[in-house]
Amino acid sequence: MSLDHYVTLGRSGLRVSPFALGAMTFGDDPGSVGCGVEESEKILSTYLDLGGNFVDTANFYTNGHSEKILGDYFAARPGQREHVVLASKFFFNMFPGDPNGGGAGRTSIIAQLDESLRRLRTDHLDLYWLHNWDRNTPIEETLRTLDDLVRAGKIRYIGFSNTPAWVTAQAQTTALLKSWTPLIALQVEYSLLARTVEGELAPLALDQGLALVPWGPLKNGFLSGKYRRGAQVADSARTAFIGSPDEDQFTVIDAVAAIADELGTTSAAVSLAWLRARKGTVVPIVGARRVEHLQDNLAALELALTPDHLRTLDEVSAPTLDYPAPMHGAGRAMLQFAGATVDGEPSTVYQALLASDVRY
């Protein structure tokens, strides 16, 4: 597989590359851990030259510099913007002291989109994400505003990021009932070191035909291969910013590294290949501060993990999910099916359960 083997993003007609390019690292503004304009453009050119077409940014990344780098790049290459799925986000306030400068109200969404379009030097976005849940704004107001912007041609599709499952479900149901523009994707934290999304949001996405677009698929670089027990990471500035893996995380990191060594590939490739093997449509966002980082990540496109590899990774990284998820495991099959097998799910220990002192 390669970047030009496209997938349909959720229940839509939008075709995107199997990996999105994250532009959060584009721009070297003070306080950021990004890269300069020249390196950013090299990374973007490499991704596009390999057939990639899905570029993700946000108004807040490097204080707007990320969007400006992308805008200047495409403006200098007439005709290329039309062949790229360009996504950005709204929510974060870039105007200190202005309570309407951020969030998901009508006034702020329209203003934020206009600013993003100006920096990106384009007349529309292909995908516009709610970056975070605005608990001070009715979800109906947010959805109606986004639908108006779709109808006006300023955005094409919408998605949510970092939003609770119950809010997301309410939003999708409301949009469908009112014939407003529905969500097509959820941008979520998801990796071998961050799997709690599997409690609520991932099942919701699978049920509703929403694509998952994971951010942080290498968990701050912990799954990149450069973090090993007892080894000093060369990038001390980034380590000071994000910290170091703990003992539980190193257990997963070790398992990933062992499979990478067995297959003659990188830990990053194994971690990304595991994500792409999850149920439904999963399009990880890969970021990079150097071209070499991007090339290492894209090696995952050529990697197919065996069922044994997937099982090993699933088990070593198994998350502890919040209630009521623990009630939906083997015990549910025992009690619901009463010894029968349904949809390939056996409950043969039912009688043994009844004979024991275990009760729910």
**CA distance linking residue 355 with residue 353, whole number of Å:** 5
Q: Identify whether the C-beta of residue 300 lies closer than 8 Å to the C-beta of residue 272.
A: yes
Q: Which two tokens stand for residue 69?
A: 């780098």
How far does CA 142 lie from the centroid of its chain? 21
DSSP 231-269: PPPS-HHHHHHH----HHHHHHHHHHHHHHHHHTS-HHH
Q: Which amino acid is at 42?
A: K
DSSP 288-338: -SSHHHHHHHHGGGG----HHHHHHHHHHT---PPTTGGGGSHHHHHHHHT
Q: Is 73 a catalytic residue?
A: no
Angle between helices 65-75 and 37-49 (to 10 degrees): 60
**CA distance linking residue 146 with residue 171, whole number of Å:** 12
| Residue 20, strand partner residues | 285
Catalytic residue among 61, 128, 190, 227: 61
- Pick the closest to residue 41 from 86, 62, 72 (CA basis): 72
Which residue numbers are catalytic? Answer: 61
